[in-house]
């Protein structure tokens, strides 16, 4: 095993407090995950980024999608993640707050930023436009359009995207239609209002995160095409949003990405929009598998393992809202193999809140003990950016792992 700390001490991989947004590339470690844990014996949750997984994921996604891919920064705002994505073909980022604008502008100064939150603070629009050169903004109301125009002093170089609400998507883990998006009739009106003041005009939607059915994208393209036709104005781009899924244990495997791309291009062709320039805003599908979270078992009570991270930290999606199961691997405190029978376990987070529990089940060796570590996979998506500091359990650290014989993910 080889350790390549970015700073001079491997014993301190980059520690993070609340928020978990990285400020520098983490220390690096070459070896197996077991070697890494044995070397560090992490007492706080440890994010383990595998560039060997992230870089090809970025390249594959860009190669498959016939348009511009903008990565949704909210999904994992780690600076190293943004930089690896940028180096591997993702040249645009979807940002949702002024903090994300600043972060992305710093991590990848040449990346194009799209400010895709439909309800933005006026100060955020002004700073994004005047200081960071952001020109692309989303809106789903006339009020937001006026706000963008006011805060950019009636700029002539705006790229405006009108976000459209979609019908219920029961194949998604979270359906976003309750929160954002104009109804298709209103989209047509907004397009008419935006056209005279927009250098570029687009329509966008988000079908819902972790969408398991590719035909939902085709349906959304059809609705967008009808709204565009009704508006009677020229629309320059269609942004099909995020929502592309990652594989999680306990769910049917998602259809492969090419099926999603085929559904989108097929629908565009049928609507006569084959030449429409396309964009998308993936988060989860790009980064989920790139990162694991190593947690420590602080106590065992039967099938319930009390661990040092939970739903107020990096494991929100494993809690009662989404109940996602994560792939897991036990890393024993003494490195020995005791027992091979697997049993289903539940997890309890470190806070005093009884909601901070994760039903799983998480399949682990029957003799898991206090002091063992668990590697949870899929922590690349919606984990680092969600960390809070409730009950004082906000600390985490991060490191990049290179496995000489190829990345070996937990199952
Ligand atoms: C506007 C917007 N774009 C893209 C995404 C990324 O979605 P996903 O991670 O499902 O691909 C989100 C997620 O919340 C979003 O709100």
Report pLDDT digits (tens) over 25-46.
459 999 999 999 999 999 999 9
Residues 326 and 222 in one domain: no
Query: Pick from 279, 287, 299: which is nearest to 382 by CA?
Result: 287
Tell me whether residue 407 is in a domain. Answer: no
Tell me whether residue 408 is in a domain. Answer: no
* CB-count burial class (<10 Å; 0-12, 13-18, 19+) for 354: exposed
The kind and range of the H/E element at 56 are: helix 51-64
Residues 261 and 175 in one domain: yes
CA distance 195 to 199: 8
Angle, CA 405 vertex, CA 247 and CA 375 arms, to 5°: 45
**pLDDT number for residue 26:** 58
| Residue 125 banded pLDDT, cuts 50, 70, 90 | very high
Query: Pick from 8, 36, 22: which is nearest to 401 by CA?
Result: 36
Mean pLDDT of 258-280: 97
Residues 227 and 166 in one domain: yes
Residues 306 and 271 in one domain: no
The kind and range of the H/E element at 269 are: helix 257-270
- Cα dihedral 157, 63, 106, 283, rounded to 10, equals 90
- Inform me whether the pLDDT recorded for 7 exceeds 70: no
Task: Output the domain CATH number for residue 22.
Answer: 2.40.37.10
Residues 153 and 248 in one domain: yes
Q: Which residues are near ligand 1 (CB < 6 Å)?
A: 72, 74-75, 94, 116, 206, 209, 241-244, 281-285
Count CB-CB contacts under 10 A for residue 219. Answer: 16
Strands 373-376 and 328-331: antiparallel
Residues 337 and 271 in one domain: no
Mean pLDDT of 53-68: 97
Domain boundary among 287, 307, 333: 287
Cα distances from 405 to residues 30, 33, 52, 399, in angstroms, run 10, 12, 11, 18
Residues 264 and 335 in one domain: no
Residues 58 and 126 in one domain: yes
Residues 191 and 322 in one domain: no
Tell me whether residue 411 is in a domain. Answer: no
- Inform me whether the pLDDT recorded for 5 exceeds 50: no
Query: Pick from 269, 161, 290: which is nearest to 225 by CA?
Result: 269
Count CB-CB contacts under 10 A for residue 411. Answer: 9
Ligand 1 pocket test: pick from 206, 264, 324 the residue with the most ligand atoms within 8 Å of its Cβ: 206
Domain boundary among 258, 287, 316: 287
Count CB-CB contacts under 10 A for residue 174. Answer: 17
Tell me whether residue 174 is in a domain. Answer: yes
Q: How far apart are the CA of 316 and the centre of ligand 1, in A?
A: 16
Residues 104 and 236 in one domain: yes
Tell me whether residue 84 is in a domain. Answer: yes
Residues 78 and 159 in one domain: yes
Q: How far apart are the CA of 210 and the centre of ligand 1, in A?
A: 10
Looking at the structure of the chain, the number of domains it has is: 2
User: pLDDT tens digit string along 62-104?
Assistant: 999 999 999 999 999 999 999 999 999 999 999 999 999 999 9
**pLDDT number for residue 19:** 38
Is there a contact between 373 and 295 (Cβ–Cβ < 8 Å)? yes
User: pLDDT tens digit string along 274-299?
Assistant: 999 999 999 999 999 999 999 999 99
As separate numbers, helices (DSSP H) first and strands (DSSP E) second, the chain gives 10, 19
The residue contributing the CA closest to ligand 1 atom 5 is 242
Q: How far apart are the CA of 298 and the centre of ligand 1, in A?
A: 34
Mean pLDDT of 249-262: 95
CA distance 48 to 40: 12
Tell me whether residue 409 is in a domain. Answer: no
Tell me whether residue 410 is in a domain. Answer: no
What is the biggest distance separating any 2 CA atoms in the chain, rounded to whole angstroms? Answer: 71
As given in the structure block, the two tokens for residue 404 are 């000489």
Domain boundary among 262, 287, 312: 287
The kind and range of the H/E element at 47 are: strand 46-49
CA distance 353 to 348: 10
The mean predicted confidence, pLDDT, of the chain is 92
Is there a contact between 393 and 351 (Cβ–Cβ < 8 Å)? yes
Q: How many residues does the chain have?
A: 411
Q: Which residue has the tokens 């999608």?
A: 65
| Residue 173 banded pLDDT, cuts 50, 70, 90 | confident
Q: For residue 210, which atom of ligand 1 is closest to its CA? A: 10
**pLDDT number for residue 177:** 77
The pTM assigned to this predicted structure is: 0.92
User: pLDDT tens digit string along 313-357?
Assistant: 999 999 998 999 999 999 999 877 666 799 999 999 999 999 999
Residue 218 main-chain phi, psi, to 5 deg: -65, -45
Q: How far apart are the CA of 255 and the centre of ligand 1, in A?
A: 19
Tell me whether residue 278 is in a domain. Answer: yes
Strands 291-301 and 357-365: unpaired
Is there a contact between 30 and 1 (Cβ–Cβ < 8 Å)? yes
Q: Which residue has the tokens 């590697």?
A: 375
Residue 33 main-chain phi, psi, to 5 deg: -65, -35
Count CB-CB contacts under 10 A for residue 255. Answer: 16
Range of the domain at 128: 51-287
Residue 27 main-chain phi, psi, to 5 deg: -55, 155
As given in the structure block, the two tokens for residue 188 are 């047509």
Task: Output the domain CATH number for residue 91.
Answer: 3.20.20.10
Residues 56 and 32 in one domain: no
- Inform me whether the pLDDT recorded for 21 exceeds 80: no
Q: How far apart are the CA of 59 and the centre of ligand 1, in A?
A: 19
In sequence order, the β-bridge partners of residue 130 are none
């Amino acid at each position: 095993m080889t350790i390549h700390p970015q700073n001079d001490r491997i014993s301190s991989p980059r520690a993070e407090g609340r928020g978990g947004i990285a400020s520098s590339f983490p220390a690096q470690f070459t070896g197996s995950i077991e070697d890494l844990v044995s070397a560090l014996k992490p007492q706080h949750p440890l994010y383990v980024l595998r560039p060997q997984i992230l870089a090809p994921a970025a390249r594959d996604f860009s190669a498959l999608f016939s348009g511009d891919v903008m990565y949704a920064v909210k999904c994992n705002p780690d600076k190293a993640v943004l930089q690896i994505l940028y180096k591997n073909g993702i040249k645009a980022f979807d940002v949702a707050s002024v903090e994300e604008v600043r972060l992305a502008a710093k991590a990848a100064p040449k990346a194009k930023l799209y400010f895709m939150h439909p309800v933005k603070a006026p100060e955020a629009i002004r700073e994004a436009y005047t200081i960071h050169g952001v020109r692309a903004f989303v809106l789903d109301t006339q009020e937001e359009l006026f706000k963008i125009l006011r805060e950019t002093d009636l700029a002539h170089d705006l790229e405006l995207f009108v976000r459209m609400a979609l019908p219920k998507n029961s194949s998604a883990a979270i359906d976003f239609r309750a929160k954002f998006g104009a109804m298709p009739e209103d989209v047509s009106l907004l397009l008419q209002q935006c056209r005279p003041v927009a250098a570029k005009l687009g329509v966008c939607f988000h079908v819902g995160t972790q969408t398991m059915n590719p035909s939902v994208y085709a349906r959304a393209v059809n609705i967008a095409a009808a709204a565009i036709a009704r508006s009677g104005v020229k629309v320059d781009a269609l942004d099909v949003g995020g929502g592309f899924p990652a594989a999680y244990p306990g769910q049917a495997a998602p259809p492969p990405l090419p099926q999603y791309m085929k559904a989108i291009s097929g629908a565009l062709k049928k609507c006569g929009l084959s030449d429409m320039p396309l964009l998308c805003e993936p988060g989860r599908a790009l980064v989920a598998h790139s990162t694991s979270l190593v947690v420590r078992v602080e106590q065992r009570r039967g099938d319930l393992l009390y661990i040092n991270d939970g739903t107020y930290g990096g494991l929100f999606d494993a809690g009662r809202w989404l109940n996602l199961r994560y792939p897991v691997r036990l890393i024993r405190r003494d490195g020995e193999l005791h027992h091979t029978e697997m049993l289903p376990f539940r997890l309890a987070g470190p806070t005093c809140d009884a909601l901070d529990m994760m039903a799983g089940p998480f399949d682990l060796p029957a003799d898991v003990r206090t002091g063992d570590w668990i590697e949870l996979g899929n922590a690349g998506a919606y984990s680092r950016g969600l960390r809070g500091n409730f009950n004082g359990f906000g600390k985490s650290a991060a490191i990049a792992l290179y496995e000489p014989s190829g990345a070996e993910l937990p199952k």
